[in-house]
Structure 1
Amino acid sequence: MGFSKEHLLARLKELHINFSQYEHPAILTIEEGEKYVGHLEGGLSKSLFLKDKKQRFYLVSALKNTKVDIKVLSQRLGLGKGGLRMAPSEALGELLQVPLGCVTPFAVVNESARDVSLLLDQGFKTQEHCFFHPLSNDMTISINSNDLDKFLKSIGRDPSYVDFETNPPVGKDHPPDLAALIPSGSINLPDQPEKQPSYQIPVDGNLVSVDKESKMISANVVNPSVCGKNTKEKLVNKAHSSGNFADVEQFVEEILHKTSRLLLSEIKEDRIKQHGENLGVLVSENLQKGLSSDLANLAMIFKNTAYTEGFHAGTHYQPGRL
């Protein structure tokens, strides 16, 4: 079992590190965090958990408004433009031992994260203090960079600060400036279940193929839509938008849309005459049969996309993961 919030706060007190703590509901984004600590002086932070092709992991922590270009960072590490990617969700639990939304520099306190490279924004040093979650996103603490360094050194970490917004040349005459920050060895995670093949869900006469690994959605028309070409294109384009499944309200709207469409197809005049008072029971059974797998697939898309979108947001100026 990894460090808990209580263990971490106790460790900070043992080290005589000054910090202020602010309790709040569990939050996942900087935008949510601003509601509770945005009015206070200090720098809000975001964190990204990355990996390279050789199974080496990196925890990047930066100020909210610092632009972290993963391609540039990858080149500066000597990994090429495509060397870095988002770490898989299971690595959060296996290495950092924190759930999604709780990734901060404090996560390297766990022994399982000893080979994870920690890269800190040099902008932290310009702030009187910065805000981080103490391994749990139902609390935020403020701490200055000197005390953060003190904590990291107490667990055997030599803090590495990086100017993420600079883009120095990398080439034959200009070796990558951050190559020394690459972890010394790869990390082998426990074997994951065998990848499942893509599956299909019906969207207005189309079968929409969903690849669970890439979370990308593509549509192939197999039956003409009863609503015509325009409606068909609108729904397929909507399915292509990952935001449709990362936003709760639109996710619910999609469920209601599918339910109402199936319901209307079941309640027709000829069926009312044929089944009479038993139509209600028949419709209920057909709704359960027709929607069960469909909605389960949508829920999986929602879960996977919410994870992917949250990390993607952390690489831009817009709100990202805390």
Structure 2
Amino acid sequence: MGYSKEQLLELQIPFVTYEHPAVTTVDAQAKYVGHLGGALSKNLFLKDKKNRLYLISALADTKVDLKVLSTRLGLGKGGLRMSPEEALQEILQVPLGCVTPFAVINESACHVSLLLDQGFRAQDCCFFHPLSNDMTISLKSQDLDKFLRSIGKESPYVDLEANPPVGKDQPPDLASFVPSGSTVLPDPSETASSNLQSSTNHTFVDNKSPLVAAKVAKTSSNSQKVDIKPSKAVNPSISSFSSGQPLDEIVEKAATLVLSEITKDTINQHGEQLGLVVSDSIRKYLGSELKHLAVIYKNTAYTEGFHAGIHYQPKRS
């Protein structure tokens, strides 16, 4: 279910619609409606470490410090980050650049916690995208409240620039806005990691295999002392493996990824949030690559142990 003019009309909410080319930043939107006297808004779709979701809607010039906001929610300084683009489509059901308070009308967003900038209340009218970034609607904050109440949502207005102390005798002032339930989010890094693991060509050894079981039985049945001497045979695939080379490649690719993410277009598109977008991309990439590397190391250790069992023969004293 999505926003429609009929819903606002049924609620007798006055509003004005402005159509314009699709925009992805507040600055781009301001070129078309900034001169009309309303308050522009910026909207952040965030997640915490437990995949609980938050939609922060603030005045365009409000400074939202995610570390401070995270602390005020009781999540610690690094508890919030930008939600992946896939979550925008699956939870809010909007594409990138279309985040708006109206998106909580969707049933899939029922567990999303909405926080509104208290600065909206002092404005004559406020501008929001109606689930589409090629259109802007203007309405009063109290009418936005009326719309939210009609779908069973609260209108929690908070001072997003405040930085109250948090301590033993001063609990986080926004902790009550933390959602009670988590959401299952799509994780591209997990998918990529599983694909890499399934395509990796390494030998796994079952410690219950007949070969290993026979060696264990033979050793346990012989009570005499034995000396184990290494064979001269060496597995070339193991001896040629360099632990430093994969790490160097990952670092090089990560550096290339950072440079590719920072372009004129992405700076214009994401503005001050570009750092969060880039860090999220790096996190996904490194998560996948390091998991893949861990599998390689694990498989190499298994393989080396397997060959050691074959080539190292016990010699009775």
What letter is aligned with 1:11?
Q
C-alpha deviation, 1:307, in angstroms: 11
Q: 1:279 maps to which residue?
A: none
* Structure with a larger share of its residues in helix: 2
Shift of 1:247: 2.4
Helix, strand or coil for the counterpart of 2:76?
A: coil
1:216 and 1:163 map into 2 onto residues whose CA distance is 41
Return the match for 2:128 from 121, 132, 135: 132
Give me the whole-angstrom Cα distance separating, in 2, the residues matched to 1:216 and 1:41.
47
Change (3 A) 1:138 1:73: same
The two structures have a TM-score, normalised by structure 1, of 0.64
Does 2:184 align with 1:188? Answer: yes
Per-residue Cα deviation, 1:117-161 (whole angstroms, up to 9, x for no partner): 000000000100000000000100101110000000000001101
* Match in the other structure for 2:115: 119
Alpha-carbon spacing, 1:240–1:135, altered in 2? closer, same or farther (3 Å): closer
1:115 is aligned with what amino acid?
H
Q: % of aligned pairs identical? A: 61
Cα distance, 1:314 vs structure 2: 10
**Aligned pairs, number:** 222
TM-score between the two structures when normalised by the length of structure 2: 0.65
Q: Tell me: CA distance 1:154–1:240, structure 2 relative to 1, closer, same or farther (3 Å).
A: closer
Query: Residues 142-153 of structure 1: matches in 2 within 5 Å?
Result: 142-153=138-149
Aligned counterparts of 2:12 and 2:33: Cα–Cα separation in 1 = 23
Aligned to 1:81: 77
Q: CA deviation at 1:216?
A: 7.9
- Which residues of structure 1 form unaligned runs of 5+? 198-207, 220-238, 249-304, 316-322
Asked whether 1:218 is paired with 2:260, we answer no
Q: CA deviation at 1:241?
A: 4.0
Paired residues for 1:237-256 under 5 Å: 240-241=258-259, 244=262, 246-248=263-265
Q: 1:58 aligns with which of 54, 58, 66?
A: 54
Match of 1:287 in 2: none
SS in 2 for 1:21: strand
Counterpart AA for 1:312? Q
Q: What is the alpha-carbon root mean square deviation over aligned residues?
A: 2.7
Larger Rg: 2
How big is each residue's C-alpha offset from its partner over 1:196-236, in whole Å with a ceiling of 9 and x where there is no partner?
Answer: 57xxxxxxxxxx9678xxx98326xxxxxxxxxxxxxxxxx
Cα distance in 2 for partners of 1:29, 1:85 equals 19
User: Structure 2: 5+ residue runs without aligned partners?
Assistant: 197-247, 277-317
Asked if 2 retains the 8 angstrom alpha-carbon contact of 1:48 and 1:314, the reply is no
Q: 1:56 to 1:88 in 2, by over 3 A?
A: same
Give distance in 1, aligned partners of 2:171 and 2:271.
Answer: 32
What is the letter of the counterpart of residue 218 of structure 1? Answer: A
User: Do the aligned residues in 2 keep the contact of 1:209 with 1:218 (CA within 8 Å)?
Assistant: no
Shift of 1:242: 5.5
1:255-285 deviation line (CA, Å, top 9, x unaligned): xxxxxxxxxxxxxxxxxxxxxxxxxxxxxxx
- Structure 2 CA distance, aligned partners of 1:216 and 1:155? 46
Cα distance in 2, alignment partners of residues 80 and 10 from structure 1: 42
In structure 2, relative to structure 1, the CA distance for the partners of 1:147 and 1:218 (3 Å cut) is same
Alignment of 1:160-239 (within 5 A): 160-190=156-186, 192=188, 194-195=191-192, 217-218=254-255
1:239-260, CA deviations, whole angstroms, 9 ceiling, x for partnerless residues?
Answer: 754564x324xxxxxxxxxxxx
